[in-house]
């Protein structure tokens, strides 16, 4: 791994490249020419698909499912209840039990979060009522690699918040089958309905509605470049949870840290994909060298070693800093998705964290547990958005309606300045409506 020394080199190491649409590989460009009859970039593909699904509904959704994912147009868009139940027989019972246990932990966490989340209140005639969003759509990516954990991490917070209707779209394989792992997870998470649809066409179907897929009020979940660009494009017509980039892991460690555990966390962070980031910030040169050796030794036996090695080569590294305090300053600048604290008395350093999606406090709080069974959702801000954004939670599925209820004595107190402001703005009708409610105006 690259080892940077000093603040200047460390800042260069943690500096992100702009989050842009990647150059599409030749095979994908050829597929685009075949399907669309034109040379289109990723944004052009998304705009064409959004337009067609909006105008043609199911017809366009089926056409793009077949053209882009190989799913025969004769396969029903909605996954039947029988197919979902049959999926249990195709998933090992131990995995079903693991998903159920994960669901219990995720549910318990978000029930507590709900207690501390938005609340209705009434304070002397003004207040708010909090209601769940009525219909939410979740997008779950992947066919060759599937993510039942993402189903749980997205659907369960919505259900805990009280969302009434929860639909899911996900790509199907060329034989039309949806991964049984996803279907079992959807059933455990109490998803209302599952539809076959990948990429931009799935986002379009949920945003605009088709004859089969209901229009939703908010779309949540991660995805590749096409669903991500589609989510950005439909925002405003529907809500979205955020725009998610590649996974990020930053480890802050001191001389007491165990090199094998630090290396394991860096490798876990890097193996997501070639665009993932895994960084170590430490004041200990001995630890840095030991971790570098550990990473090199572990890569050889890793199943996804090519992906992991490419990620570490392009976006990984170790920054030698002057102190733990400087490490936190750099981490807060980077605002990572995952921040792991391998520090003596790690709990005492929690107050130093300003920007991170999730903090893993101490060496036993392994980041990988956060992906599955810790409890908080693993859908978290990336690309530096942790400076203003939060992990997916029950708050993402709640909305506030303000309430104004004024007694006559309250009205007589607040009406005169309101009328004065209205007249200053040139809105005489506003002022007259206010005057009509005042005792002096009757």
Q: Catalytic site residues?
A: 337-338
- Tell me how far apart the alpha carbons of residues 389 and 399 are, in angstroms, rounded to a whole number: 17
Q: In sequence order, which ranges of 38-143 are alpha helices (DSSP H)? A: 42-56, 58-69, 81-87, 93-115
Q: Identify the CA nearest to 243 among candidates 310, 110, 337, 158.
A: 337
* Strand ranges of the sheet holding 338-342, from the earlier edge strand across to the other edge: 3-5, 316-320, 277-282, 248-253, 338-342, 358-361
Q: What DSSP letter does each residue of 116-150 carry, written as one string?
A: TS---EEETTEEEEEEE-SEEEEE---SSS--HHH
Contact 21, 42 (CB under 8 A): yes
Neighbouring CB atoms inside 10 A of 347's CB total: 10
Q: Give the position of tokens 């603040």.
A: 7
389 to 131, 147, 289, 348, 401: CA distances (angstroms): 21, 23, 35, 24, 22
CA torsion 174-78-50-381 (nearest 10°) is -90
Contact 54, 211 (CB under 8 A): no
285 to 30, 95, 189: CA distances (angstroms): 48, 41, 46
Contact 134, 163 (CB under 8 A): yes
Cβ within 8 Å of residue 441, ≥6 positions away: 434, 435
Widest distance between CA atoms in the chain: 85
- Tell me how far apart the alpha carbons of residues 224 and 411 are, in angstroms, rounded to a whole number: 53
Q: What DSSP letter does each residue of 262-285 carry, written as one string?
A: HHHHHHHHHTT-TT-EEEEEES-H
Contact 45, 32 (CB under 8 A): yes
């Amino acid at each position: 791994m690259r080892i940077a020394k000093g603040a200047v080199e460390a800042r260069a190491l943690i500096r992100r490249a702009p989050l842009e649409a990647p150059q599409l590989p030749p095979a994908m460009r050829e597929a685009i020419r075949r399907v669309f009859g034109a040379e289109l970039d990723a944004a052009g593909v998304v705009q064409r698909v959004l337009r067609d699904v909006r105008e043609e509904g199911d017809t366009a959704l089926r056409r793009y499912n077949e053209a882009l994912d190989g799913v025969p147009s004769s396969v029903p868009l909605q996954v039947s209840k029988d197919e979902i139940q049959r999926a249990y027989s195709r998933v090992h019972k131990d995995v079903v039990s693991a998903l159920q246990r994960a669901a219990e932990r995720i549910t318990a966490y978000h029930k507590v979060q709900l207690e501390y989340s938005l609340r209705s209140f009434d304070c002397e005639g003004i207040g708010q009522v909090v209601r769940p969003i009525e219909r939410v759509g979740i997008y779950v990516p992947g066919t060759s690699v599937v993510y039942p954990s993402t189903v749980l991490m997205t659907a369960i917070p919505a259900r805990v918040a009280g969302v009434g209707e929860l639909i899911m779209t996900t790509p199907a394989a060329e034989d039309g089958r949806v991964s049984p792992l996803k279907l079992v997870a959807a059933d455990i998470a109490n998803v209302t309905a599952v539809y076959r649809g990948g990429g931009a066409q799935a986002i379009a179907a949920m945003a605009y509605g088709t004859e089969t897929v209901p229009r939703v009020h908010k779309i949540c979940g991660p995805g590749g470049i096409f669903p991500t660009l589609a989510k950005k494009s439909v925002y405003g017509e529907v809500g979205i949870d955020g725009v998610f980039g590649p996974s990020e892991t930053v480890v802050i460690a001191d001389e007491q840290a165990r090199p094998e555990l630090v290396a394991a966390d860096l490798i876990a962070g890097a193996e997501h994909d070639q665009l993932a980031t895994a960084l170590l910030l430490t004041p200990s040169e001995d630890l840095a060298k030991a971790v570098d050796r550990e990473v090199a030794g572990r890569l050889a036996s890793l199943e996804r070693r090519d992906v992991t090695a490419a990620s570490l080569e392009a976006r990984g590294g170790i920054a030698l800093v002057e102190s733990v305090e400087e490490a936190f300053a750099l981490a807060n600048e980077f605002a990572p998705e995952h921040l792991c604290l391998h520090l003596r008395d790690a709990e005492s350093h929690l107050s130093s964290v300003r920007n991170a999606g999730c903090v893993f406090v101490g060496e036993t709080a392994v980041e990988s547990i956060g992906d599955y069974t810790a409890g908080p959702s693993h859908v978290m801000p990336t690309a530096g958005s942790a400076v203003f954004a939060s992990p997916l939670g029950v708050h993402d599925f709640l909305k506030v309606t303000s309430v104004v209820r004024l007694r006559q004595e309250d009205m007589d107190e607040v009406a005169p300045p309101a009328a004065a402001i209205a007249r200053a703005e040139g809105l005489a009708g506003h002022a007259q409506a206010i005057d009509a409610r005042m005792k002096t105006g009757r």
